[in-house]
């Protein structure tokens, strides 16, 4: 159970790049980081427009002298202060992540970076090596992975409740971009521009989320080969896709699929994962995150509710309010930010982090790698490719 008591000696002095007024994801970063007193927002380069960023920072109670016009100035100026920032979150469009993350690590900062970490596996591995060299933490915000229901699923699979794992079906398929909304929406416009979005749209933006959930639940299973097909139903989005199917074969003989889609008309979010074993299956859907379906062959369906005593203790450890009340995306993100803080604190004090997992730089590398393999398969005519 989480009561909001301190996890680390002192809140980490923290800044943001991006996540300004009007952004989609900035607010949840701040709510998650600030909720459990692990971080203190002391600086920021919140916006591509310096004036707007400054005004926004002031409204967040950040000292005006620490509302910077850009990240380079912020890293340079903060390095001169005794009370300078120790960590930074990067919540800017994809095309900027690599350079900002690299600069932050070189400045000796811990990083929380939005996905995708960058555009190529080569760049991702370079960042991974740099983080290791600098002994800095890089957390990646696969937000729902911090939800109790995901931990419960992880424990059930580890304890053999499902038997031998055979099939993993995943999807993140919403309908919000069924039409060319990018014509009037800045947040969507860059997502369909390869210069800012990278080599894919929905594979990277959506598919990597349930893929990471599968990595959390099934840490031993490794992809051996995959086949991907991708389409642009809104033609102006080509060469980037607004729909994609990926079929995967794992090294243990299991198979999996990921449906990544933003043109699933009528669907609100549609992020689901179903893990099928030889004895039973589990299914989780982000629109009803407090319920985990547990289906044992030959028995009635069970709905496992968040916060109940029958869950595994590892899942209940992240409980904030008990069963019955909803916990959702904000709580899941807060759980992740708490783990990021613990990891940063451990790195700063030369301690080994025991019993805490979080989406770190290896999750960032894997997401980029998966997208790269999917694009290689799709653009070669939807053929099977060995996973590289």
Please, what is the minimum distance in Å from the beta carbon of residue 140 to ligand NAD?
Answer: 8
Please, what is the minimum distance in Å from the beta carbon of residue 333 to ligand NAD?
Answer: 8
Cβ proximity to ligand NAD, 208 vs 373, nearer residue: 208
Cβ proximity to ligand NAD, 2 vs 196, nearer residue: 196
Cβ proximity to ligand NAD, 143 vs 277, nearer residue: 143
- Pairing state of beta strands 223-231 and 280-285? unpaired
Cβ proximity to ligand NAD, 209 vs 345, nearer residue: 209
Rounded to whole angstroms, the Cα distance separating 185 from 11 reads: 36
Cβ proximity to ligand NAD, 187 vs 278, nearer residue: 187
Show the beta-strand stretches assigned E in the chain.
12-18, 39-45, 87-91, 110-113, 138-140, 165-173, 223-231, 243-250, 255-261, 271-277, 280-285, 291-296, 302-305, 385-386
Residue 43, strand partner residues: 15
Rounded to whole angstroms, the Cα distance separating 99 from 106 reads: 11
Helices (H), 191-252: 194-197, 202, 208-217
Cβ proximity to ligand NAD, 44 vs 307, nearer residue: 44
The dihedrals phi and psi of 260, each to the nearest 5 degrees, come to: -110, 125
Please, what is the minimum distance in Å from the beta carbon of residue 130 to ligand NAD?
Answer: 19
Please, what is the minimum distance in Å from the beta carbon of residue 117 to ligand NAD?
Answer: 10
CB-CB neighbours of 158 under 10 Å: 15
Please, what is the minimum distance in Å from the beta carbon of residue 242 to ligand NAD?
Answer: 15
For binding to ligand NAD (CB under 6 A), which residues are involved?
17-20, 23-25, 45, 47-48, 70-71, 91-94, 96, 114-115, 141, 143, 186-187, 205
Please, what is the minimum distance in Å from the beta carbon of residue 185 to ligand NAD?
Answer: 9
199-218 burial: b if 16+ Cβ within 10 Å, else e = bbbbbbbbbbbbbbbbbbbb
């Amino acid at each position: 159970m989480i009561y909001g008591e301190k996890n680390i000696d002192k809140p980490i002095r923290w800044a943001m790049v991006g996540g300004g007024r009007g952004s989609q994801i900035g607010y949840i970063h701040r709510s998650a980081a600030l909720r459990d007193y692990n971080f203190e927002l002391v600086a920021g380069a919140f916006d591509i427009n310096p004036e707007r960023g400054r005004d926004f920072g002031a409204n967040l109670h950040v000292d005006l002298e620490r509302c910077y016009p850009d990240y380079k100035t912020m890293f340079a100026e903060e390095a001169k202060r005794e009370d300078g920032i120790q960590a930074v979150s990067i919540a800017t469009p994809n095309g900027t992540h690599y350079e900002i993350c690299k600069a932050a690590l070189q400045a000796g900062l811990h990083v929380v970076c939005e996905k995708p970490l960058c555009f190529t596996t080569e760049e991702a591995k370079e960042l991974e090596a740099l983080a290791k060299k600098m002994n800095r933490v890089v957390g990646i915000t696969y937000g729902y992975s911090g939800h109790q229901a995901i931990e419960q699923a992880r424990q059930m699979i580890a304890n053999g409740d499902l038997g031998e794992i055979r099939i993993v079906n995943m999807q993140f398929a919403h309908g919000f971009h069924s039409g060319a909304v990018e014509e009037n929406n800045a947040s969507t416009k860059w997502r369909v521009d390869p210069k800012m979005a990278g080599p894919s749209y929905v594979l990277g933006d959506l598919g990597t989320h349930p893929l990471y959930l599968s990595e959390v639940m099934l840490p031993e299973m490794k992809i051996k080969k995959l086949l991907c097909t991708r389409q642009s139903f809104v033609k102006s989005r080509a060469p980037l896709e607004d729909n994609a199917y990926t079929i995967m074969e794992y090294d243990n003989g299991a198979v999996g699929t990921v449906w990544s889609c933003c043109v699933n008309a009528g669907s609100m979010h549609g992020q689901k994962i179903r893990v099928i074993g030889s004895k039973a299956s589990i299914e989780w859907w982000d629109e009803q995150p407090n319920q985990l379906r547990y289906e044992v062959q030959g028995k009635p369906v069970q709905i496992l509710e968040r916060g109940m005593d029958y869950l595994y203790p590892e899942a209940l450890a992240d409980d904030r309010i008990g069963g019955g009340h909803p916990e959702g995306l904000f709580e899941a993100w807060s759980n992740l930010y708490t783990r990021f803080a613990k990891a940063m604190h451990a790195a700063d004090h030369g301690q080994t982090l025991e019993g805490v997992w979080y989406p770190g730089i290896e999750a960032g590398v894997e997401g980029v790698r998966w997208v790269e393999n999917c694009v290689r398969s799709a653009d070669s005519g939807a053929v099977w490719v060995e996973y590289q």
